[in-house]
Structure 1
Amino acid sequence: MNKAPSMDRDSMVEVKNRFKKMSVVPDENCFANAILNLKEHQKPAIVIRNTSFCDVRFSYLRKLRLARSCIQAKLSTVIQEFKIINEPVCIDYFEHYFDDLDLALVQLKYARQLLMKIARYFIQLMEKDDCKTLDRCKYLKVNAVGCMYTIAMRCLPILAYIEKVRQHMLAQDVDDVIPDFVLAKKDCTIPHLSAFEVEKATDFVHQDTLRWFEELEEKHGFRLHDSAHKLHDSCKHEEHPLAA
Structure 2
Amino acid sequence: MKAKKLLNIILSGVLVFSLAGCGGQAAEDDNVVKIGVVGEDSPQWKPVIDNLAEEGITLELVSFSDYSQPNQALADGEIDLNAFQHYAYLNQDIADRGFDLEVIGETLIAPLGIYSKKLSSVDEISNGGKIAIPSDATNGGRALKLLEAAGLIKVDEGAGYTPTLADITKNPKNIEIIEVEAAQTPRLLEDVDASVINGGHAVDAGFTPKNDAIYLEEVKEGSDNPYINVIVARTEDKDNEIYKKIVEAYRTDEVANIIEEEYKGSYIPTWK
Q: Pick the structure with more strand per residue.
A: 2
Q: TM-score, normalised by structure 2?
A: 0.22
Q: Pick the structure with more helix per residue.
A: 1
Q: TM-score, normalised by structure 1?
A: 0.24
